[in-house]
Chain A
Amino acid sequence: MTLRMRFLYAFTGLAALLTTAGLIGTFYKTPLEVKEIGFTQKIFYFHVPMAITSGVAFAVTLLASIAYLVTKDLKWDVWARVGAELGLVFGAALLTMGILWTRSTWGVWWTWDPRLTSYLVVVLLYGAYFVLRSSVDNAGEKARYAASIGILGYITVIFTMVSTRILRTAHPVLFKLGKSGFESGIEHQMLITFLSAMFAMFALCAALLVAKVTIENLSEEIEDLKDRIGG
């Protein structure tokens, strides 16, 4: 078995294991947070890791975009695109979880909570990334333009997150939406559950990344071969 396949099996297995561990931890092992929020606080164990993972996926896009602009090697463009796809997938899952949490906690389906809002903007931005990609035919141009948005987009993501935080601390807060309902003295079990889930998501993301990039590259090769045979 090649190194790549071994990697894929290992990481998928790891992801499955850790996810199970995380789920068990979430439902059975962690204490019920009795603050305002109660049971739904537990969403935090998977929700935050997902947010971090999608941030990592988009960071892959950022780095791959820079790599492409420097080397002009199209293989980096594949990484950039796949990173953005996965980032969107995790981001969409994130928004869904956010909506469900808001509904069950506050009764409404949506609030313009800075974090939720930032993520909506991010999802829309990377959606635009794909619209841009589909608007350019030439592979080199497509990669170049997409790369510029991959880079500027990530800067925007950081700005949005940071600036909403700054502006909120200056502004009186109406009601506190503490999704991360835990204090600094985090309990042992909560930490383990959280970390399990986080590494589960990382492993899943890594496996999906590698799998998708491999698939894309193979598709390209097939297309090339088809052209050469004249099919």
Chain B
Amino acid sequence: MLALRQLWVILKKDILLELRTKEMIVSMLLFVMLTMVVFNYAFNAEKNDLTSFGGGLLWLAFIFTAFLGLNRSFVHEKDEGCFDGLLLSPVDRSIIFIAKMLGNLIFISVVEFAAVPFFTIFFIRYPYYIYWSRLAPFVLGLILGNIGIAGVGTFVATLAINTKRRDLLLPIIGLPLLMPVLAPSVIISGAMMGGNVAGNTAEMVSASMKILVAYDIVFFAAMALIYDAVLGE
């Protein structure tokens, strides 16, 4: 089916370009590591035990790193003026959107999974306070949270790119819209790392999962409904 092939070729191109230039992933990795260093200074990590804030700090680092990546969603098309090339072709605008979103999801997830081990060593004082039994929900929570961030983030990035204040607009609009993802994600992540210290019970984790799933479903449904009218032809 042509639409699927188009989707795949756009996604493949973005991944290929990223592998060749390594712009986004390297920058995002550096950024997330630097954020963690800032945490050290901000919270005096030498003296204070930050374990109970594990989930929170993790997502603090993640959300800002994600925005860094989202800003670059259309970087190749922007920098090289290739947007017209995509728009000229008979590909449906929504396919472009989905491809960009999947690309963002992949990049953000790669950076996050790479950052987790470092984070654990830096702040959770591995090997203590890691509850391996909660690994599965942790991973699931990360993915569900990322889906929300990639989905809503790419949507706002697509809006922002057509406006005057592009770079600034993305976090200003995106962060409030993504707030409902934060609390549940922090709880789920916190459950695995240093969780019992903060009191994240199994009920809270499952409630949080449900909220994340609900968020993803509702927002994707809403975006699908309004996509054509807002960003379509």
| A163/B177 in contact, CB under 8 A | no
Known contacts: A144-B229, A144-B230. The answer to whether A163 contacts B184 by CB under 8 A is yes
Q: Find out whether the CB atom of A164 lies under 8 angstroms from the CB atom of B163.
A: no
Is the pair B226, A69 in contact by a Cβ cutoff of 8 Å? yes
Given contacts A128-B172, A170-B203, are A156 and B164 in contact (CB under 8 A)?
no
Summarize B's interface: helix, strand, loop or mixed.
helix
Q: Tell me if B165 and A131 are in contact (CB < 8 A).
A: yes
Determine the main DSSP class of A at the interface with B: helix
Query: In the bound complex, do residue A69 and residue B184 qualify as a contact, i.e. CB atoms below 8 Å apart?
Result: no
Query: Is A156 in contact with B187, judged by CB distance below 8 angstroms?
Result: no
A141 with B207: CB separation less than 8 A: no
Whether a CB of chain B sits under 8 angstroms from the CB of A151 is yes
Our count of residue pairs bridging A and B at CB distance below 8 angstroms stands at 99
Q: Is the CB of B176 within 8 A of A156?
A: yes
Q: What is the size, in residues, of chain B's interface with A at 8 Å between Cβ atoms?
A: 36
| A166 adjacent to chain B (CB < 8 Å) | yes
B163 in contact with A135 (CB, 8 Å): yes
**Residues on the A chain within 8 Å of B223, using CB:** 152
Q: Are B179 and A156 in contact (CB under 8 A)?
A: yes
Contact of A152 with B211 in the complex, beta carbons under 8 Å: no
27 contacts between A and B (CB under 8 A): A69-B226, A70-B229, A121-B179, A124-B175, A128-B169, A128-B172, A131-B168, A131-B172, A132-B169, A135-B165, A136-B162, A136-B163, A137-B164, A145-B159, A147-B229, A148-B155, A148-B159, A151-B226, A152-B219, A152-B226, A155-B222, A159-B214, A163-B184, A164-B183, A166-B207, A167-B208, A171-B204
B residues adjacent to A (C-beta < 8 A): 152, 155, 159, 162-165, 168-169, 172-173, 175-177, 179-180, 183-184, 187, 199, 201, 203-204, 207-208, 211, 214-215, 218-219, 222-223, 226, 229-231
Considering the complex of A and B, which 9 residue pairs feature the smallest CB-CB distances, nearest first?
A125-B176, A135-B163, A69-B229, A159-B180, A148-B230, A128-B172, A170-B204, A135-B165, A128-B173
- Seen from chain A, the residues whose Cβ lies within 8 Å of a Cβ on chain B are 69-70, 121-122, 124-125, 128-129, 131-132, 135-137, 141, 144-145, 147-149, 151-153, 155-156, 159-160, 163-164, 166-167, 170-172
